[in-house]
Amino acid sequence: MVNGGGTRLKLIEAAAHARPMVATVLGAEGLRFEPEREILLRDDDAGFAAACVALLRDDAACARMGAAARRRAIDCYSAASASGRIAGLMQAD
């Protein structure tokens, strides 16, 4: 069985630092990043490479994608977000 758990943590960390991301569907499985806006998902070698090259050639796209990914990381994966969800679950009982 292939497990990409470490990759997911790296993607969240990259997003928190406003970096554009390219990953496979499996590598980003379970994460809430919006494809084509906050992350590029490519499963074939040529598509993955082309997405990386496209980002390397487009600083504005990198900045837009990185900023969008950072907002998502803060909203979904920050300590404040997690503690708020935990508090909400505890109050629901």
The pTM of this model reads: 0.83
CA 38 to chain centre: 6
Cα separation, 16 vs 72, in Å, equals 9
Q: Is residue 46 within a helix (H) or strand (E), and if so which, with residue range?
A: helix 45-56
- Please report, in tens digits, the pLDDT of each residue of the chain (93 residues total): 455 567 899 999 999 999 999 999 999 999 999 999 999 999 999 999 999 999 999 999 999 999 999 999 999 998 887 777 787 778 876
Complete DSSP assignment for 49-85? HHHHHHHHT-HHHHHHHHHHHHHHHHHHHSHHHHHHH
